[in-house]
Amino acid sequence: MRPELLKGHLDALLLAVLEPGPQHGYAVIESLRSGSGGALDLPTGTVYPALHRLERAGLIASDWQTVGGRRRRAYHLTPAGQIALSEQRALWDKFSTAVTALLKRRTWPATA
């Protein structure tokens, strides 16, 4: 799937991936890929800067840890991020219901 198709939805996807618990950047990329059945294989240049932007907006926060001798930055949701995710979910439900209703194959009533 092309990254530009995700425009406007990437933030919500990243927040959703971080909802179960803290993850580092590469693990976020892998979670997006595995969680979408391989459809969302997003490049590094898309995911990492988006995480930084979400942190700047205060929707996620990060901590540096040392894992196996390496310094690792782990991101987690903030309370504001949790609220934003709930709002995004509600919006997506509404949007997807409307789009699905329109795109579903069916016979449209003939107009006069």
Binding residues for other proteins, per CB under 8 A?
A: 24-27, 29-30, 43-46, 48-49, 52-53, 56-59, 67-73, 80, 84
Smallest distance from the beta carbon of 64 to other proteins, in angstroms? 8
List phi, psi (to 5°) of 66. Answer: -110, 115
The residue count of the chain comes to 112
Smallest distance from the beta carbon of 18 to other proteins, in angstroms? 15
- The residue to which tokens 């995480």 are assigned: 51
Return the structure tokens found at 111: 């107009």
Q: How far is CA 7 from the centre of its chain?
A: 10
If the CB atoms of residues 52 and 76 are measured against other proteins, the closer one turns out to be 52
Smallest distance from the beta carbon of 107 to other proteins, in angstroms? 43
If the CB atoms of residues 44 and 97 are measured against other proteins, the closer one turns out to be 44
Strand, helix or coil at 66?
A: strand
Strand, helix or coil at 60?
A: strand
What residue type is 79 in one-letter code?
P
If the CB atoms of residues 20 and 43 are measured against other proteins, the closer one turns out to be 43
If the CB atoms of residues 21 and 69 are measured against other proteins, the closer one turns out to be 69
Smallest distance from the beta carbon of 39 to other proteins, in angstroms? 16
- The residue to which tokens 């919006």 are assigned: 91
